[in-house]
Amino acid sequence: MSGLSGAEIAQEHEQLLADIAQTHTEYGKAAFWWMGQHTFIVKAGDTVIYIDPWFPAWESRQTRPLITPEEAKFADLALITHGHGDHLCPETLPDMVIASPNALFIGPRTETERLLGECKIPAERLITVSAGETVISKDVKVTALRAKHEMFDEHPELGFPYLGYVVEVNGVTFYHAGDTIPYEGMLTTLQKWPHFDALFLPINGRDATRFLSGCLGNLSYQEAAELAGDLQPSLVAPAHYDMFVGNQEDPQNFIDFLQAKYPTVPYWVGPAGTKVIFPGTE
């Protein structure tokens, strides 16, 4: 996966962690680091938010982890979108509980037992939610939305197992879609927010072969571009296209389609671990 030596990898990790620690954004701006797959670290002001933290060195990874689970530091919030292992990671979360001792964890109510047990998150540091519920923690407002990972699979008592999150913090608003395909009411729900400073959208798509193998699908690159075109964010960053052989997409297809149909929508595609400030300067 990498030609770097152990010392070079350790130095790379240290540099990334130092970048996160030293970054401070003024009101109305935030920074993000895409970490591969659908994992993002966002820092707004001095508040650090991890989304779907997943850092183990699985052999199947095509984008190597840029930090270890033990290095998942600085988090004030950690948001878990659903129970698949590259999103809710029992190899990451127990170490993250220790590495980020002040972090509050938010995840689907359907996954409460796993989050408390397998992932060793203390009950006082865990809030579980379903779609339509909002959590306010210090200066951060997090609203959970439905996601349709092929199906809604709503539990009659516990709610929706697949979630996206709208996060409002430090004068910015961003949406992490989780794993989802389009569904009726999705756009209408998102349009309740007047503007998004960033959208983080999966683009790996879906097909019958993957579905029959148990690989649940997501937005195609065209569907992700259409959603961005409808919402007109300050920035859209495609994700969930890089990691597993047989479940990948070329992000250039997303760029080409977006530029052809919605040329005024800014986008970012780049190497994992790169710091991106949003919204950018006009």
Q: In terms of C-beta density within 10 A (0-12 exposed, 13-18 middle, 19 or more buried), how is residue 246 classed?
A: exposed
pLDDT, tens digit (0-9, with 9 covering 90-100), for 34-89: 999 999 999 999 999 999 999 999 999 999 999 999 999 999 999 999 999 999 99
Q: Which CATH class is domain 6-278?
A: alpha beta
Which tokens hold the place of 250? Answer: 């070329």
pLDDT, tens digit (0-9, with 9 covering 90-100), for 198-217: 999 999 999 999 999 999 99
**What residue segments make up the domains of the chain, in order of their start?**
6-278
Tell the residue number behind the tokens 């002040």, with chain if given: 102
pLDDT, tens digit (0-9, with 9 covering 90-100), for 144-165: 999 999 999 999 999 999 999 9
How far apart are alpha carbons 212 and 17 in whole angstroms?
39
Beta bridge partners of 233: none
Supply the pLDDT for residue 4. Answer: 85
pLDDT at 1 over 80: no
Mean pLDDT, to the nearest integer, of 240-263? 96
Supply the pLDDT for residue 23. Answer: 98
Angle (CA) 76 78 82, round 5°: 170
Peptide bond into 161 cis (omega under 30): no
Average pLDDT, the chain: 96
pTM, entire model: 0.97
Supply the pLDDT for residue 145. Answer: 98
How far apart are alpha carbons 123 and 86 in whole angstroms?
22
pLDDT at 3 over 80: no
Supply the pLDDT for residue 6. Answer: 86
Angle (CA) 149 164 179, round 5°: 30
Phi, psi (5° rounding) for residue 265? -85, 115
The DSSP H or E segment spanning 10 is helix 6-22
> Band of the pLDDT at 244, cuts 50, 70, 90?
very high
How far apart are alpha carbons 120 and 183 in whole angstroms?
34
